[in-house]
Structure 1
Amino acid sequence: MTMETTQLVILAGLTIGLVYGSVGLLSGFCLMSSMRGWLAEGDGRLVRSYALAIAVAIAASQFLAGDGMVDLGKSIYLQQTFSAPVLFLGGLLFGYGMVLSNGCGSRALVLLGRGNLRSFVVVIVLAIAAQMTLKGLIAPARIALVQASQTNVDANSLPSMLATLGMGEAVSRGLAATAIVVALILFAFADPAFRRSPGQIAAGAVMGVLVAGGWYVTGYLGADDFNPVPVTSLTFIAPIADSLQYAMLSTGLTLNFGIATVGGVFAGSLVTALVTGRFKLEGYSSPRHMLRSAGGAALMGIGGVMAFGCSIGQGLTGVSTLAVGSFIAVAGILLGTTAGLRGSLRVQPLAAA
């Protein structure tokens, strides 16, 4: 890969991050906030915005794949061997940690740009826990769990499952994508309140397009037979961990799409907060509040690595590939989030939070 292509991929990642940070701040785009609004407050606008984002991400990403512009099979999501139990368990841990920390990793970056110092603790602890799970003290246990429970599958995506019934690749891809996209769009626009929320509609559409944009940048613009970049898109657990490591050891590391995206999200939120007068320094209300937040961040870092992604990395990007493993991870994330918001394991609100 030429130096010009490398710079193009990094610049594109930064741009995608800037847009994500700005839109995320203005719209409140976040799975945890969406679920809380829907389950606890009866407001389904944010969760429907999230559903629209998934629909747009699937439609645009599958178009790129069907047109031969991007080989989604080179991503981490479409592997022939994976551990369903570890993906699901990781999703559970991430979802519950997300409730404890009051937002996911990407949301923490957005809020940090707005001056929320609680999010600084979340980002740092998440990064350390993720790096420990990827390459550090927790890594051997994670690898042992995966090796003990992994399975080989021929059909690792919904289209490939349909293809086993005798359908052609194009037909199975189109059928699987269309069925899910139509269902999600119907769900999103079934709510009159959402239909009257142009900002939430726009936010969902933009976030979905950004996912496809990431695939296009890394899978098409960054394609090089001699030195290709990893085919990826929006995801935040490993990139946040890499960003912290890059900040400390940049001379021995290489700037990549994920690190550029993380920096872009923070910068986009910061600039938007300053321009719109939303910047405000905020801290913890009590030591207990800090402990809960940091504990949730640790669960997100560990769980996110086990699940191969977060509420964005799997919830949008992974699902856009229609990978079976991504749906398993997302099921865990949704269940973990629901457990934190409802039922006997519900995270109780802090008195002065």
Structure 2
Amino acid sequence: MSNTELAILGGGIIGLLFGMVGQRSGFCLMRGLEHAWVQNDGRKLRAFATAMAVALLLTQVLNAVTDLDLTGALYLQPTMSWLLVPVGGVMFGLGMVLANGCGARALVLLGQGNLRSLVVLLVLGLTAYMTLSGVLAPLRLWLEGLTTIRLPARSLPLWFSQVGVSVSIATAVMTLLLAGGLVLWAFQSRTFRQAKTELASGVIIGVLVAAGWWVTGVLAADIFTPVRLASLTFVAPIGDSVQYLMISTGMNANFGISVVGGMIAGSLFMALITGTFQWESYSSPQHMRRSVSGAVLMGCGGVLALGCSIGQGLTGFSTLALTSFVAIGAIVFGAWLGLKGPLRSYVRS
């Protein structure tokens, strides 16, 4: 098999497993925040924290002991727009509340028969491409040019190494502190420790993030026909998938597209074998309005923030990129605005 075929195959397997786990567990940052803030049930949020810890630890181990070179990752950029990244994160966070889940969750829900998610995915993909290279791209590029600043370092370890500590030691210390802190916080809850489905989902999805880096950065690495270094993220890949369905004879499949297809297939498989497949649609025009509004915010905001709740919250975080910490905080703040903040009345209307 060629290296591009290996990347596509690996992406499909990773997506299949993610879809199965996501369908079974309901893994989603938005659901985790909603359950914690509204229902006083932190199990799903602790599952996301566990996934963050596992993804970070395994990714940094791979970076240390294999040929994986994370310096080519999208998240590790020397510059950042001080305006677009946080604004995009807030837009995405609010959008996933309005749409009742992020792009990854929409793929899982589509696999189990939720037709609302089909609308969300189509609008999200269209809006993402409008922002990346369509009618909104000139405005995005203009604002980016006005607001881009040089970061003190690409990543947290590189920043701390400026005080005289070696990069390898700084990376090890930051990885252990952050991963250890997340695990301690997650496992201090007895209800979470007893919630085997949530606990397992966090571990498995964290492993899948590291597996994505390994597939594109080690297994499919080839200097003659390079594969873009990537792992799990869903805004641009959903847009790529919509485009691929329309012009597949003039466009090559890639890792992200195969992850998207694998997730739908995995969710469908799990829904069928567990008897949970069920057709669902909108209950009212207002319901559809909220859903479409959320998809627009996620598509545009995810591009501006350089990733989604999975792309920045797990994959970007696993690289310890400074930009990812800004984006994660903005996404959580956007979700707070819709779940508990001043916009919650609009979300529920």
Task: Give TM class, smaller chain.
Answer: over 0.9
Match of 2:80 among 82, 97, 103: 82
The DSSP-based 3-state class of the residue aligned with 2:67 is: coil
| 1:273 CA drift (Å) | 0.6
CA contact (8 A) 1:84 1:325 kept: no
Q: Percent identity?
A: 50
CA contact (8 A) 1:98 1:104 kept: yes
- Give the Cα–Cα distance (whole angstroms) in 1 for the partners of residues 175 and 142 of structure 2: 34
Cα separation, partners in 2 of 1:202 and 1:166, compared to 1, 3 Å: same
The DSSP-based 3-state class of the residue aligned with 2:83 is: helix
Q: How does 1:324-339 map to 2 (within 5 A)?
A: 324-339=322-337
| 1:85 CA drift (Å) | 2.2
| 1:329 CA drift (Å) | 0.5
In structure 1, the partner of 2:245 is 247
| 1:65 CA drift (Å) | 1.1
- Give the Cα–Cα distance (whole angstroms) in 2 for the partners of residues 332 and 250 of structure 1: 35
In structure 2, the partner of 1:106 is 104
Q: How does 1:28-43 map to 2 (within 5 A)?
A: 28-43=26-41
Match of 1:182 among 166, 180, 187: 180
Cα separation, partners in 2 of 1:169 and 1:350, compared to 1, 3 Å: closer
1:96-135 CA distance string (max 9 Å, x none):
0000000000000000000000001000000000010000
Bigger mean CA offset, 52-61 vs 153-162: 153-162
User: Structure 2 counterpart of 1:113, which letter?
Assistant: G
User: Structure 1 counterpart of 2:280, which letter?
Assistant: E
- Give the Cα–Cα distance (whole angstroms) in 1 for the partners of residues 261 and 80 of structure 2: 30
- Give the Cα–Cα distance (whole angstroms) in 2 for the partners of residues 146 and 347 of structure 1: 32
The DSSP-based 3-state class of the residue aligned with 1:220 is: helix
Q: How does 1:195-274 map to 2 (within 5 A)?
A: 195-274=193-272
1:216-274 CA distance string (max 9 Å, x none):
00001121111211111000000000000000011111100000000000010011111
| 1:196 CA drift (Å) | 0.7
Q: How does 1:40-79 map to 2 (within 5 A)?
A: 40-79=38-77
In structure 2, the partner of 1:129 is 127
CA contact (8 A) 2:92 2:302 kept: yes
- Give the Cα–Cα distance (whole angstroms) in 2 for the partners of residues 176 and 31 of structure 1: 23
- Give the Cα–Cα distance (whole angstroms) in 1 for the partners of residues 287 and 65 of structure 2: 49
Given the two structures, how large is their TM-score scaled by the length of structure 1? Answer: 0.97
In structure 2, the partner of 1:10 is 8
CA contact (8 A) 1:194 1:200 kept: yes
- Give the Cα–Cα distance (whole angstroms) in 1 for the partners of residues 53 and 143 of structure 2: 33
| 1:69 CA drift (Å) | 2.4
What stretches of structure 1 move > 3 A for 4+ residues in a row?
347-351
Count of aligned residue pairs for this structure pair:
349
1:306-331 CA distance string (max 9 Å, x none):
00110000000000000000010111
Q: How does 1:278-297 map to 2 (within 5 A)?
A: 278-297=276-295
CA contact (8 A) 2:237 2:256 kept: yes
- Give the Cα–Cα distance (whole angstroms) in 1 for the partners of residues 341 and 211 of structure 2: 38
User: Structure 1 counterpart of 2:216, which letter?
Assistant: T
CA contact (8 A) 1:56 1:205 kept: yes
CA contact (8 A) 2:338 2:347 kept: no
- Give the Cα–Cα distance (whole angstroms) in 1 for the partners of residues 259 and 74 of structure 2: 18
In structure 2, the partner of 1:150 is 148
In structure 2, the partner of 1:301 is 299
- Give the Cα–Cα distance (whole angstroms) in 2 for the partners of residues 331 and 85 of structure 1: 14
The DSSP-based 3-state class of the residue aligned with 1:37 is: helix
Cα separation, partners in 2 of 1:252 and 1:347, compared to 1, 3 Å: farther
| 1:153 CA drift (Å) | 2.7
The DSSP-based 3-state class of the residue aligned with 2:163 is: coil
User: Structure 2 counterpart of 1:97, which letter?
Assistant: G
1:183-232 CA distance string (max 9 Å, x none):
10011001111011111111000000000000000001121111211111
CA contact (8 A) 1:110 1:269 kept: yes
- Give the Cα–Cα distance (whole angstroms) in 1 for the partners of residues 140 and 63 of structure 2: 31
| 1:343 CA drift (Å) | 2.3
- Give the Cα–Cα distance (whole angstroms) in 2 for the partners of residues 128 and 6 of structure 1: 26
CA contact (8 A) 1:99 1:347 kept: no
Q: RMSD between aligned alpha carbons?
A: 1.1
In structure 2, the partner of 1:162 is 160
